[in-house]
Each structure stands twice: as C-alpha cells, then as structure tokens.
Structure 1
Amino acid sequence: MLVRSILASYSRLLAGISLALLAIALAGCNEIAAEKVVPSRPVLVATVHYEAESPERSFVGTIKPRVETDMGFRVPGKVARRLVEVGQTVDVGQPLATLDEVDLKLQAEQAEAEFRAATGVLAQAAAAEQRAKDLRAKGWTTDAQLDQSRAAADEARARLNRAERSVELTNNSLSYATLVADTRGVVTATLIDAGQVVASGQTAVRVARFAEKEAVVAIPETLVGRAKDGVASVTLWSEPDRKYAAKLREIAPAADPATRTYLAKFSLPDAGENVSLGMTATLTLADPLTERVARLPLSALFSEGGDPSLYTVDAQGEVALKPVVVKSYESNDVVISGGVDEGAKVVVLGVQKLDPAQKVRVVSSLSF
C-alpha cells in the first residue's frame, strides 16, 4: 500500500510538471506570433491629377447676335399700325409696321396726272415739229420756226421723262409705307406706336438676325494675348455639359476706362436654335502650348541621394517607389511632369520612415 501511494503521488507530480511546461511553451509561441504580426501603417495619400501648367481662365459673357439692325421707314409719315412685339420671330418680307397712306396716294395720283399731261403735250409738240419739217422741206417756212418746233418737242420729251420718274418715285414711296423685314430674326426693340409721326430713317423696330451668334465678354489686359492666340470654348449655364467652339472675331482697340477691360466678341459657328439671345455663357481660354503637370505637397517627395521619387499605394495597401520628373519647386508644392499615372495615389506624409515591404492603410485621401 505504501508503494502504491508513493507511485500515485509521483504520477500526479509528473502530470503537474508536464502541464506547467506545456503552458510555458504555449505562452512562448503566442509571444513569437505576436512579435511576427506587424500592424499595417496608416498613411495619408493624395490623388495625382494632371492639368495645364497655365490654368484655364473663365469669364462670364452674354450671347448676342452678330448683326442687329435698326429698321426704319424710308419716308416720313404717321404710324398707322405696329404689327410686331418684342421677342417675336419674323421672316423675310414680313410686315413690321405701316404708315398712313393718304398723303402718299395723293402724291402718286398727282404724279399720274402729270404723266398724262406730259404725254399729251409731247404728242402736240411732236406733231408741230413734223409739220414744221414738212413745210421747211417745201420752202414755206423758215429755219427759225423749225428750230422753235424742235425745241418745244425736246422740252415735251424731257417733261414726259420727268413725269415717268415721278410716277416711279411716288409708287416706291407708297410701297415704303409698309416696313418689312429683310432677314429672318427676332424683334429686340420696338420704338414706335400707332399715331406717332416719324421722320425718314428714324429707328422703328430693331431686329437681331439669326444668321450668326456670338459671346461677348470683358477680357482683362493681362489675357489679351491669350484671347488672340489661345483656344476658346463656350458653355451655357442652361447646358453646362456641352461645349461650343468659339473664335475671336473682334476685340476692342482700347480698354474700358472704368473697368480697364477689353470688350471681346467670339463667334459661335456651331450655335443652333437652342442657343437663345441673352443667355448667360462662360467663356474658357486655354493656352495650347502649355505642358500638363501635377502639383503635390513637398512632403510627398522622397529623395536620399538619388532621383526624386514618390511612394504609390495600390488597392491592396502595397507601396512602390517610383521616380518622377520634377518640373519645378514651389513654396509648399512640387510640380511634376511625369513618372506616375493620372489618378494614382501617393503617400504625402512620413515617406522618409516608410518601409516598402510594409503594407499601409489609407486613412485619408486628398486631391491635388
């Protein structure tokens, strides 16, 4: 019994020692595993965006017609009717306004009467001239009487010619009593009303032609050169996603004394019916010769005796060091012209302590 008791105690002791050694071994493995698991490093990244080195400049302008005509009556008179209103579209030959035709018809009738009288006088003078010629051929009259008959006939012919022209002029004046549109366009102003007496050539209706439209903007003096040589495009506030090609047609020779800007007119050859007069437009001027660059913080640049580089981060959190072409250095930024792709994400803080073999975790993203 004693022996059995000693053996049982010894067995329990060995079991305790084994359990203790197993616990110590497991603790050591956990410590080793804990040492091998390295947490990912949080980093701040920026998205690379290339743009023109000379940034585009935008100006607010207005859509206006290239040709806006002030139309008026070619004869004076009293306005009988105005047939159009502001904003109305007119076609070629459409009446715009009319004058009272009473006096013009009387003038036409007077010219017709003068024409008939001149016709009768010419017939009488021509007959007298023919008789004088016949009598002179027989020797029954003198040369003086023949010359007198010829002069009277010539005067009658001139009077008839004058009467014909007077008839044409009065008929034209009568037709001028109706003001008609000579082009397709839209009425932008009406400056007369019925009952008003107008002078010849006085502006009655203003019509903007549909033939060509343009954007009118004010350009500062520092960008006059770009307005002449750069690439221009126009977007409408009503259609912000569509661009219209624009070409400089005219620029003021002198600056406005108040704003010190130059009034520029850009033609829009592709503008359709959807581009209405008076719409607000945005004119964008770009320099065609400028290089495309990207701006990043100086803290993103990595250089330890070699070429300037950037750490890029992919979707799996792996980083890679890529050399870049530095265009210039600014006070807070570095300007690069190549080396990384558009839209790439680069680390912008702590690049000097970054381990390329270590995975990172993006905690924030910036756009430049």
Structure 2
Amino acid sequence: MSFEDDVKAEAFHLGFSLCGLAAAQPQAQHAAVYEDWLAAGHHAQMGYLAAESARLRRADPSLTLPGVRTVLTVGLPYPNPARAAAPADGRLRGRTAAYSWGQDYHDRIPPRLNQLAVFLETRLGLPLAHRAYTDTGPLLERAWGQQAGLGWFGKNSCLIHPRGGSAFLLGELLLDVELQPDVPWEADRCGSCTRCLDACPTGCILPNRTLDARRCLSYWTIENKGLIPVELRPSLGNWVFGCDICQQVCPWNQHAAPSQVDAAFDFTPEEAFPDLLEALSLSPVDFNRSFRRTPLARTKRRGFLRNAAVALGNLGDPAAAPALIHTLENEPEPLVRAHAAWALGQLHHPRVRPALEHAQLTDPDPSVRLEAAGALAAL
C-alpha cells in the first residue's frame, strides 16, 4: 500500500465512506460558475455567500491556508432518503431532510478530520499546517469532491458517487504537504435522466446543475427567517426542515449499495417524521431540549413551528383545526401566528371562520391580520 492508501484507510477507520485527494490549485472554472450564480441572485437573501473575501477564498484555497498543497475530501454517509418511510400510525406527520437526522454533522466531521491530520503528522514525523471544514467555510466543496474522484455533479446539484449515491456529507482537510492526487471524475452518468427536475415541486433546479435558492424548499424552511411566500406554501407539502425530493427520485440513490451509516445519525421515527400537532405545542425549553444538538436547531423554534403550521395546512385535515386555533390565539411569535392563520384557511372546520375573524380584528401584529384576511378570502 502507498502512503496515500494508508491515509485513506485511516479515513475509512474514522467512519468516512469516501476519501480522495486533489492538488490544491485555484478552481477558476468552478469559481466562474459560482460568480454567475451570485450575479443572477440565485443565493436569495444569503448575503454571506456573496462577501468579497469569501468569494476570493472559494476560488483559491491558499488564501485560507497559505502554503496549502493538497485538499483531502471525505464523505460521511447518512441514511438514504430514498429508503425512508413514515410510520403508518395515522398521525399528522411532517418530514425532515435525512441529513438532519441524529446529531449535527458539524460536531462530527471536523474532529475526525483533525484526527486524520494527527495521523498524517505522526506518519510523516513533522508538524502540518491544516484546516478542517464541512460546510463551515468558503470552499467549493462539490468541486473538490469531483477533483478528488468522488463523483460527478448530478443534475440535482448533488455530488453523486456511482455506488453510494448522494446520501453523504462532504468534509475537507487542507494540508501543506503534497500527496499524490487522485484522478478527477470526468464522466457524467446522469445521461438523459430528468427525474429530479421533473419531481422538484418549485422548479428550482437549474440547467447548469445549480439551484435557484429563491424557489428551493430547503432555503425557505431553513435559511429564511421570515414569512414564506404564499405562492410557495402549497409546494412545501409536509416538509418542515429541508427537502429530499430530488434525491428520493434519483436512480443512483434508489439502487445505491447500503452504506454503514455512522452511529451519529441514529434516529427515531419522531425525528425523521415529527408529529406536527406536538410540534405546535413545543415551548422554547422543549424545543431546545429536543433539537439543541441537531441541525434542526438552525430554524430556531419560531421557524420550526412556522413550517409545521404550513405543513398542517397542506395536509388539510380538519383534526388540526383546534391546535392551529390555539396557536393563532396564544402563540407569542407573530411569525408562527401568521402561518397558523394561513393554514386554517386551508381547512374545513366550523371553528375556523370565527377564529380568523377575531384575529383579523384584534391581533396586534399587522402581518397576522393580513394573513387572517387572506385565509378568510380563501374560505
């Protein structure tokens, strides 16, 4: 075995399913695509993505780690979203993206990459300058994965591996030592398939294998902190955190070889498919206790309850009316009350109209009064 093979074996020992190496050259071609994406406004309100210093560092890793010679990229598998099924218990359930199940990957990947760096230092017998990332800094992660031979850019914008599909999280280790690079992945194995584009409920997948965040359900349920546009709410279905539709329909995921999913991603059906009525009743303490160490904490309580209200409206079950009315009348967060009002407008229940009329006249927040008026019109 070569030294590079030893490094990969250690990465696999640490729980990664993929590991590849690339020479740390500036990514001019991929950076140009990224710049065009920003210029078109496809990053929505995520202004941090357009910060000048970050844009420069994305194109050239030496601006992040002076003297960098190699970018090591790993993949950590999470449960395959194409094989998940909600409990058949009759409850009104939402759905969360599979990468969010279990513990927050930000707490799992960088420490293992730092362990890998220690392994390298021990084997080489010299100190290394290194930086570990996983979606935590300005790197073109998919580009480094492709350069390291881990897969190709799928039409759904995910990096796809021919055996493992796209259900893995990327991490990178920047190193100031030169290692033999792997052969970059060049083949496009999506072929003429358009299942992901056809299945996307908002048409956010772009022809150049990027996404328009302004129409992406993941953006609206996670990154967006305000109102969800009325015209997009029906497209959310019962998604309350992220969206896996383009991965669920991908043949490479449907036929992927089973991966040894890390114990960090062990999950219960309640985490993957939360009870929406219970979600509406979560106090701030309950929310923090349940989601503090998971990706779902990113939405904060008000975002999660907002999403749960929209999902209940889309499910259209009158059994949700009492909980939504209670939320409209008692929830302290105007953002949640506003979406509860909209959801009530999607239901047929005798108590809905009086509750909305009362909110339209008396709610102290104008956004809630406006949503109540719109819901009454929908009725």
TM-score (norm 2): 0.16
Q: Whose strand fraction is larger, Structure 1's or Structure 2's?
A: 1
TM-score (norm 1): 0.16
Q: Larger Cα Rg: Structure 1 or Structure 2?
A: 1
Q: Whose helix fraction is larger, Structure 1's or Structure 2's?
A: 2
Higher relative contact order (CA 8 A, sep 6+): 1
